[in-house]
Amino acid sequence: MNIGINAICGLTVIPVRADHQDTSEIVTQLLFGETVTIIEIHHQWVKIKIVHDQYEGWVDNKQLLKVSDSTFESLNKNTKRQHTDLNTLQTPWGKQHVLQGSPILSTSNNFRIDDLQFESHSNSGSNTVYDSLTEIALSYSNSPYLWGGRTAFGIDCSGFTQTVYHQMNYYLPRDASQQFLKGEPIAFDQQQPGDLAFFKSEKTGNIHHVGIILDKEKIIHAHGKVRIDTLNPEGVYNEDKKYYSHKFTGIKRYF
């Protein structure tokens, strides 16, 4: 692959790393079908810019699928995301699992991406359709915390809010500090379910955590796992361990 080539994630989920080596930290993940542009090359590693949030990082080029410019443009116009826990595609390279939050590449069960043929086999036991943002958020309950993660098998705080909002066709930036720069500020007593609450580090003063507000002074967020805790003007109170885990900063609303 060359600089300027457009591609999509060709596997269920792949790590995007801070540097061009397997031991480098994961900064985010790509889900099947998400689009990228290659901006730098180092041996088998390529530095990519992710289209939906402009995030940059390194991936193994064997995990990407090159697409034509016309297909790339068409895929970028699609904002719908998968709500089902798991879908299965029959691909030219065999069965491919597609996770919740991934782009829906086609509404047809049979479709093509350039010269490649795909067939969708939706799992009958995973056809839940969520009516609200908070229902989507709750579907990630107990997912383990993973720095850089964006799936129910491992997710971080801003990956959680970003992926949930994706499924409501709203595209948030990747990091909590970036998300805080968007949206409308909301007073604590005017909060609504689905608003995002943000928290500052007491050491640095920087925004370092975010969660989704539920009703009745509750928040769902990724901290050890995706969990529900109490939210008050002081911060997030962990009822299990009887302490404040995060210091409250502000609330934002996006739609």
Residues with active-site annotation: 157, 209, 221
**What phi and psi values does residue 177 have, to the nearest 5 degrees?**
-65, -35
Q: Which tokens go with 131?
A: 């009516």
Q: Which tokens go with 41?
A: 């090359």
Q: Looking at the DSSP assignment, which residues form a beta bridge with residue 87? A: 98, 122
**What phi and psi values does residue 146 have, to the nearest 5 degrees?**
-145, 120
Separation of alpha carbons 83 and 102, rounded Å: 8
DSSP 134-158: HHHHHTTTTPBB-TT-EETTEE-HH
Among the listed residues 124, 142, 135, the one whose alpha carbon sits nearest the alpha carbon of residue 87 = 124
